[in-house]
């Protein structure tokens, strides 16, 4: 058994996630990657989100703070808030992030490799508004 107290091991600085994210995104590795599973806490500032991507073996998101959006390809962004749990099936194209006005932090348990695609266009990011 291993108990992680709140975030990454002491002395591990919070990472800035840039290459496959839009806006300012911070990441804390919660547990080291084992057998292809990555477990991290990710905070999206307002307006920040992932690029479009999928997870080879799926992904579990547990929203731990704030209010954000998740979106599956072909759908509209849906609101998630602290306490919500999202299961993304293997291979499903999607993105997740904050709303335009709020931060969102989630624990992300990613199973297998992440396959990154294009940036989420502003028009698609805002497609919930006015709908």
Task: State the Cα–Cα distance between residues 92 and 69, nearest whole angstrom.
Answer: 16
**Which range binds Mn ion by CB under 5 A, 6-14, 19-27, 59-67, 97-105?**
59-67
Task: State the Cα–Cα distance between residues 125 and 129, nearest whole angstrom.
Answer: 9
Q: Choose between 103 and 110: whose C-beta lies nearer to Mn ion.
A: 110
3-state secondary structure of 3: coil
Given 22, 59, 99, 105, the residue binding Mn ion (CB under 5 A): 59
Q: Choose between 59 and 105: whose C-beta lies nearer to Mn ion.
A: 59
Q: Residue 125 carries which DSSP code?
A: H
Least distance to Mn ion from the beta carbon of 12, Å? 22
Least distance to Mn ion from the beta carbon of 10, Å? 27
Q: Choose between 9 and 85: whose C-beta lies nearer to Mn ion.
A: 85
Task: State the Cα–Cα distance between residues 93 and 45, nearest whole angstrom.
Answer: 22
**Partners of 116 in the beta sheet?**
53
Residues near Mn ion (CB under 5 A) are 59
């Amino acid at each position: 058994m291993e108990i992680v107290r709140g975030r990454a091991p002491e002395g591990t600085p919070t990472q800035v996630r840039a290459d496959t994210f839009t806006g300012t995104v911070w990441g804390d590795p919660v547990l080291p990657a084992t057998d292809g599973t990555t477990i991290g806490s990710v905070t999206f500032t307002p307006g920040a989100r992932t690029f479009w991507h999928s997870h080879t073996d799926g992904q579990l998101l547990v929203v731990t703070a704030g209010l954000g959006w998740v979106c599956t390809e072909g759908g509209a962004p849906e609101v998630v808030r602290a306490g919500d749990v999202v299961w993304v099936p293997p291979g499903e194209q999607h993105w997740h992030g904050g709303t335009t006005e709020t931060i969102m932090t989630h624990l992300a348990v990613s199973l297998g490799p992440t396959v990154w695609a294009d940036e989420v266009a502003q028009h698609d990011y805002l497609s919930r508004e006015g709908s």
